[in-house]
Amino acid sequence: MPLSVEGTIERGMNKLHRNMGRLVPILAVHYPGIAKCASFGSINVFLDHPIYFAHADYWTPKIRWRPDWFKPTDPDREEAFGFVAIKFECPPGGASFAAWVFMPEGSGITHGIGRIEVIADTWVAEARIGARCRIEIDHILSSPRPPWFGNAFGFPNVLIV
């Protein structure tokens, strides 16, 4: 039985948008489905009903990469990422897009239950701040969250409410 949850698009911090071009090609080596997502940034959604992703379709190993906000003297970041394939509608009942819940290990959004970050491999024209949307998960998420996921960033691998 599919899980369907509506939410409202909210403003993000633009960190992922600024880094998509360098990060997605690295991640697509491990999870090819997102290879075309580099051009479109992410969509931050405040969910009407919270979801905690204890499982995903895929969790990467730790990836070494360099965010654009790092100083030249900062060491590269080592971070894992999780992905959940979804159908994304904006507005609810409108066009449906293949998309993914994107879960960076070092992001507080990933470790909470009320917000998610969505990436898509196409431009979703209606996805604007304040717009209503819906996500649908129509399959079993088979890969459990790694027990170490989040620890290096101060997020214990437990549900944070």
pLDDT digits (tens, 9 = 90+) for 104-142: 999 989 988 899 999 999 999 999 999 999 999 999 999
Report the predicted TM-score, pTM, of the whole model to 2 decimal places.
0.92
List the Cα angle 5/11/17 in 5-degree steps.
100
Burial per residue of 16-49, b for 16 or more beta-carbon CB atoms within 10 angstroms, e otherwise: beebbeebbeebeeebeebeebbebbbbbbebee
What is the mean pLDDT of the segment spanning 75-100?
96
What is the mean pLDDT of the segment spanning 19-30?
92
Residue 161 has pLDDT above 60, yes or no: no
Confidence bin at 1 (pLDDT 50/70/90): low
DSSP type of residue 142: -
Beta-bridge mates of residue 82:
59, 103
Say how far apart CA 92 and CA 126 lie, in whole Å.
11
Alpha carbon 142 to its chain centroid, in Å, reads 17
List the Cα angle 130/102/116 in 5-degree steps.
35
Fold of the 3-153 domain: Elongation Factor Tu (Ef-tu); domain 3 (2.40.30)
3-state secondary structure of 76: coil
Mean pLDDT value across the chain: 91
